[in-house]
Amino acid sequence: MASLFLASSSPRRLALLQQIGIHPVVHAVSIDESVQAGETPEAYVERLARSKALAGAAGIGRPSAYVLAADTTVSAGGEILGKPADFADACRIWSLLPSPDHCVLTGVALWHDGRIETRVVRTQVTFLPIPEADRLAYWQTGEPADKAGGYAIQGRAALYVKAIHGCYSNVVGLPLSETADLLAQHQFPFRE
């Protein structure tokens, strides 16, 4: 079977792939994830996914390998919301999440045989305000600290997610249907 490398250290992405029967080799990469001036959320996640896939491919050095990479961000209140720096930053981010433009975007990139293809998936999220009384307790769980937008839909933040319009696994960190479609289009034999 062909080798699939996941250019990500995200345990959520790995678990999502394993959920659908794909068991990649984790090959985490490190890139600069700074937002460029004037960059849209869509362009941001696509650029980072592409950069991660290319860095992974360069590090692996096997043209026949498949290298999958992804990057997820949250956009609300007209801002790209990364991981909170501290509790005060988390509170600032959480105040933006009830915005009507709150969405989660994931860029997915697949590199194989010197070619790369990307997709961007968008999921709208209707988010309730996190009550002041709950904020410190939620922060102290550790769950928000390493998540774009400062929350995990698959964790305690589910209390505040009223609705989503689009792909649930995208909000967790990897849109599974679109990822499987991308792999199938490039003849990765994951359904064998």
Q: Does 122 map to a domain?
A: yes
Q: Return the percentage of the chain with pLDDT > 70, whole number.
A: 98
Indicate if 181 belongs to the active site: no
pLDDT band at 140 (very low <50, low <70, confident <90, very high): very high
If one counts every other C-beta atom within 10 angstroms of the C-beta of residue 141, the result is 12
Q: What is the pLDDT of residue 76?
A: 97
Q: Does 192 map to a domain?
A: no
Residue whose structure tokens are 């709208």: 124
CA-CA distance, 126 to 97, in Å (whole number)? 8
Tell me the per-residue pLDDT of 77-115, one tens digit each, with 9 for 90 and over: 989 999 999 999 999 999 999 999 999 999 999 999 999
Burial class (CB within 10 angstroms; exposed 0-12, middle 13-18, buried 19+) of 90: buried
Residue whose structure tokens are 């995990």: 152
Q: Does 190 map to a domain?
A: no
Q: Does 81 map to a domain?
A: yes
Tell me the per-residue pLDDT of 148-175, one tens digit each, with 9 for 90 and over: 999 999 999 999 999 999 999 999 999 9
- Longest Cα separation, the chain: 53
CA-CA distance, 115 to 95, in Å (whole number)? 41
CA-CA distance, 97 to 131, in Å (whole number)? 12
Q: What is the mean pLDDT of residues 132-154?
A: 95
Q: Does 87 map to a domain?
A: yes
Q: Which of 107, 158, 99 is nearest to 124 (CA)?
A: 99
Number of independent structural domains in the chain: 1
Q: Does 131 map to a domain?
A: yes
Name residues whose C-beta falls within 8 Å of residue 154's C-beta, 6 or more positions apart in sequence.
12, 172
Tell me the per-residue pLDDT of 23-72, one tens digit each, with 9 for 90 and over: 999 999 999 999 999 999 999 999 999 999 999 999 998 888 999 999 99
* CATH at 88: 3.90.950.10
Domain residues for the domain of 62 are: 4-185
Q: What is the pLDDT of residue 192?
A: 56
Q: Does 107 map to a domain?
A: yes
Q: What is the pLDDT of residue 61?
A: 86
Q: Does 191 map to a domain?
A: no
Q: Which of 71, 86, 113, 134 is catalytic?
A: 71
Of 2 and 161, more confident? 161
CB-based contact 120:42 (threshold 8 Å): yes
